[in-house]
Each structure stands twice: as structure tokens, then as C-alpha cells.
Chain A
Amino acid sequence: MKVEKVFDSFIINALIGGICVSIIAGGLGCFVVWKKMAYFGDSLSHSSLLGIAIGIVLGFNSTIGTFLVCIVFATLLTYLQNKKILSNDTLLGILAHASLSIGIIAISLSNQYVNLDAYLFGDILTVTDNEVVWFVLSTIIVISILFFIWEKLVLMTINESVAKAENINTFLIQSIFLTLLVIFVATCVKVVGILLITSMLIIPAATARQISSSPGSMALVSGLLGILSIIIGVYLSIFVDIPTGPSIIFTLTLFFIIVLSVFRKQTS
């Protein structure tokens, strides 16, 4: 690729989209690490393929489809968790792969050509101007809400009983957090794809943990690492001609290894 294309509009769109996603992931990812919800995030993103399928079959925007299916998924999961019939782990495995399979079946039955690769591994270089607006809007919404509930969410992550005793409505705060996570998944599918979404949440946060001494700084460092990895990952994929999603996650992983070997402080 020629150097003068470095600032082409498709790259600028990709970078803005990626940076937005990194900022959201920086904040939410810390909680996913603290609450040990990596598998939950993974399952949520798997279920998003069903949303994409519904969007394709019924002919509406796949982001909205993803959002709706993920909301149903998260609600159903919370309901079943409270029933305590199965362990969390088993429940997630069943729900995630059931919805992934149903999604693939629906897409295949729809008889439409669908580039599955783009959904599985992301397609950040095709981000449109309209999508950029959605990215920026959802970032502003998610970050503002997260900022507003931050202290309560951190407290109930540390200890739910203490938070309850201080009259925090833990159910409401947890529901808001899950909704933000759903918005993130719906937004992020385009950037790194269903299979790699969780790593956008986990890897920057786990890296940031090694060099942070407060919850806020961990979120900030995590966001910055994400942004840096998006920029490096996008250009790496263009210059070396490799898929962009995996290239971003590869860059994140490199940062993780470097930081871990230089600053090894705490295990996450």
C-alpha cells in the first residue's frame, strides 16, 4: 500500500471507530476483569451472531439486532443464574453456543450472501461515516453513564454486602453495567469481530493492572493501551496485509507481554 493512502478516509473512519471502542473497553474491561466475567463477555459476544442473523433475515440494522439479542441474553442469564439450577459456567456455555448455532443456521437459511468472516473477525476498514457517528455517540453515552455510576459500581465489585448496606441499589447498578456491556458488544462486532471482542475488554485491563494503583488509573491506562493498539494494529494490517481484527489483538498481546515482563507486580 502506498504511503499517501495513510490518511485515506476509510482509515480515518477505522481509527475513529477503533479509538471509540478502546475508550469504552478501557472502562468496562476493568470491571470484566475484577468481576471475573471474561467468559460472560465471550458468551455475550457469541450470542450477538444470533442478533446479526435476525437483522439480516428481517432486514434491519444488524447493530440493533445484536443489541436486542444481547439484552435478552443478559436478562435470561441473570434470571437463570438466580434460579441456581446449573453452575454459571455451564449455563454460559449452553446459552452462548446455542445462540451462535441458531444464528449460523438462520443466516444459512436466509439464502443471502453473508461474509461471515467480517462478523467473526471484524471489518474495521469498512466502517462508514454513519457508523462513525454511532461509534462516537455510543462512546459518549457509555462513558457518561459509567462515570456517573463509577464509585457505586467499584464499591459493589469490591463487596456487594457493603454496598447494599450503604443503600446502593445493587440490582439497578448491575443492570446498568450489563446494558453498557451489551452496547459495547453491539458496537465492537464491526471492529474486531465476535470471536475477539472479549480480548478488547480483557487484555488492555490485565496489562493496565500491572502498572496501576487505583481503579481510575487502571481504566485510563487500559483505554490508552487500547487506543495505541488500534493505531498500530490498523497500520500493521495495512502495511503487512493481514486481517485487521487479529492484528489489533496481536498488538495488545505484545503490550501485555512487554508490560508483564518489565513491571510484573500483581497477577490479575
Chain B
Amino acid sequence: MLIKAENISVVRNNKEILKNIDLTINPRDFITILGPNGAGKSMLLKCLLEFFSPDKGKIIKSDDLKVSYTPQDFVIDKSIPITSMDFIMLNKNIKKDEINNISKEFNISEILNKQLSHLSGGELQKILITRSLIDNPNLLILDEPTQNLDVSGQLSFYKFLDKIYAEREISILMVSHDLHMVISTTKKVICLSNHICCSGEPSSITKDPEFINLFGHDFADMMSLYKHDLKHNHEGRESV
């Protein structure tokens, strides 16, 4: 176990944003949180990060937990002049050589000397994640990392994330709406709508009545179709 939320609830303005949430993240987990807007997804992440303490319940962390976080809506103000390299090194105890090695590993060398404000959304996300990997975390928490990316940006980003998950001893907890993109890698999906509606493996979750209830039949059908696609199992697609 790396980190565990035990029966946590958060109340804001008399509204229960999180209700009795139980969540355990183990080493090598890859968990995707899905849910409609206002479902408390970001709040759950922020409780795990201890930005807020829950009104009820508690967060238990293992001693060796090293968490890194990339927030939602990361934009860089144009008035701040800073290169990607300087940003990665900011407040970190690391030599340029080490960054050069990591950048080669993740194919970001050519954007290292660019100004942060000149990067595309996808490039910015890659720099953010590279920065967060510097301290060798064992848990990566991502809040809607592809929110501002176009489809090709999203694809390239998830390929990047797959590579990190495959090559590093790391767990990933991500809020994302792109279930179809992560369905082949993610091990567990949690559907959140202030409480945990349902959770499970991506292949079975789309058949869960709660999932269908939350996202509708069309979305559920679309998701199960993606799963077939990625397994190259075209059974049942003849009619499509």
C-alpha cells in the first residue's frame, strides 16, 4: 500500500463534495478516475496530496511514499521568461547532465531550450511530467492532463505516459475523461460522482449498471467497443 483514503468526506458550502470515499493505491497501480463535472475528482486528489484535510475519515500514507503531482489547467504566464530546462531545474537539486539524459529517454531534448510560454499544450505536459519524475516518485498524480490537447496531442501524451508506466517502478492515479485512450493501460477505473459509484477493471466497468447510469448507454457501448478494438478482437463488430 502506498496511500489510502479511509472513509473520507468533504463538505463545502453545506454540500457534500466527497462522501465516504475508500481508496487504496498499491505499488504499480494505474487507476483512472472518471466522473462528471463537480463530482469531486480534483478534491479527492487534493485530499490525497494533503492540500486539504477531509472533514471526516483519514488519509494513511506509507513511509516510503514519494508523490508527484501535475495540476489541472497548467498555463504559463507570458510575462515570466523561463526555459523548459530552467523550469525543470527550479527548486530541484539536479545537474544539467541528468536532465539531458532524462530528456533523451523521453524525446524532449529539442524543446529543452525553448521558452516555456512558447510550448504547445502537449509539450508543456511532457515537461511538467519530466520535472515531476526527477525526484523518482513512486506515485504520479495527474489531474486531467490532456484537457487542453487536441486528439493527436492526447495520443502522443498517452503514449508518453505508457512509456513511463512501463519503464519505471511507478503507480499512476489520473483524473481523465479519455477512457478510450487509457483503456488498454489502466488497470482500474473508478467512477466518482461525489461518492464512488462503481469501480473495477476497464473491460468490466462499462457493463456495470452504475456506469451506464452515470454516463449513459452510448458512452458505455462506445467504451466497450474500444476495448475490443485494442485487443484486436473484432467479434461482434461485423454488424458495425
- Bound CA span A154–B88, Å: 12
Binary per-residue interface labels of chain B (50-75) against chain A in the complex, 1 for a CB within 8 Å, 0 otherwise: 01000000000000000111110010
What distance in Å separates the Cβ of A28 from its nearest Cβ neighbour in chain B?
15
Out of A34, A162, A212, A266, which one reaches B71, CB within 8 Å? Answer: A162
Q: Which residues of B contact A161 (CB under 8 A)?
A: 51, 69, 71
B: contact size bracket: 20 to 34
Given A162-B71, A165-B49, A218 contacting B81 (CB threshold 8 A): yes
Interface residues of A in 114-173 (CB under 8 A from B): 151-152, 154-155, 157-159, 161-166, 168
Given A214-B82, A215-B82, A218-B81, A159 contacting B74 (CB threshold 8 A): yes
Q: Which residues of A contact B74 (CB under 8 A)?
A: 159, 162
**Does A267 have its Cβ within 8 Å of any Cβ on chain B?**
yes
**Does A33 have its Cβ within 8 Å of any Cβ on chain B?**
yes
Given A151-B90, A151-B91, A164-B49, A213 contacting B83 (CB threshold 8 A): yes
- Please give me the residue from chain A that is nearest to B115 by CB atom: A213
Binary per-residue interface labels of chain A (201-217) against chain B in the complex, 1 for a CB within 8 Å, 0 otherwise: 00000000100111101
Q: Which residues of B contact A218 (CB under 8 A)?
A: 81
Give chain A's interface secondary structure class.
Answer: helix
Binary per-residue interface labels of chain B (32-57) against chain A in the complex, 1 for a CB within 8 Å, 0 otherwise: 00000000000000000101000000
**Does A175 have its Cβ within 8 Å of any Cβ on chain B?**
no
Given A209-B81, A213-B81, A213-B115, A155 contacting B68 (CB threshold 8 A): no
Q: Which residues of A contact B79 (CB under 8 A)?
A: 33-34, 36, 209, 266-268
Interface residues of B in 103-126 (CB under 8 A from A): 115-117
What distance in Å separates the Cβ of A94 from its nearest Cβ neighbour in chain B?
25
A-B contact count (CB 8 A): 68
Q: Which residues of B contact A267 (CB under 8 A)?
A: 78-79
**Does B166 have its Cβ within 8 Å of any Cβ on chain A?**
no
Out of A33, A36, A168, A266, which one reaches B91, CB within 8 Å? Answer: A168
- Bound CA span A267–B117, Å: 11
**Does B11 have its Cβ within 8 Å of any Cβ on chain A?**
no
B80 touching A164, Cβ below 8 Å: no
- Bound CA span A168–B116, Å: 22
Q: Which residues of A contact B51 (CB under 8 A)?
A: 161, 164-165
Q: Which residues of B contact A152 (CB under 8 A)?
A: 91
**Does B76 have its Cβ within 8 Å of any Cβ on chain A?**
yes
What distance in Å separates the Cβ of A217 from its nearest Cβ neighbour in chain B?
8
A266 touching B69, Cβ below 8 Å: no
Q: Which residues of B contact A166 (CB under 8 A)?
A: 68, 91
Q: Which residues of B contact A151 (CB under 8 A)?
A: 90-91
Q: Which residues of B contact A155 (CB under 8 A)?
A: 90-91
**Does B201 have its Cβ within 8 Å of any Cβ on chain A?**
no
**Does B87 have its Cβ within 8 Å of any Cβ on chain A?**
yes
- Bound CA span A267–B80, Å: 10
B115 touching A158, Cβ below 8 Å: no
Given A154-B90, A266-B78, A214 contacting B83 (CB threshold 8 A): yes
Q: Which residues of A contact B115 (CB under 8 A)?
A: 213
- Bound CA span A268–B116, Å: 15
- Please give me the residue from chain B that is nearest to A218 by CB atom: B81
**Does B218 have its Cβ within 8 Å of any Cβ on chain A?**
no
- Bound CA span A63–B77, Å: 35
- Starting from the known contacts A34-B80, A165-B141, 6 additional A-B residue pairs (CB-CB under 8 Å) come to A151-B90, A162-B74, A165-B67, A214-B83, A215-B81, A266-B78
A-B contacts, 17 listed (Cβ < 8 Å): A158-B76, A158-B82, A158-B87, A158-B90, A161-B51, A161-B69, A161-B71, A162-B70, A165-B67, A165-B68, A209-B81, A214-B86, A215-B80, A215-B82, A215-B86, A266-B117, A268-B78
B contact set with A: CB distance below 8 Å: 49, 51, 67-71, 74, 76-83, 86-87, 90-91, 115-117, 128, 141
A contact set with B: CB distance below 8 Å: 33-34, 36, 151-152, 154-155, 157-159, 161-166, 168, 209, 212-215, 217-218, 266-268
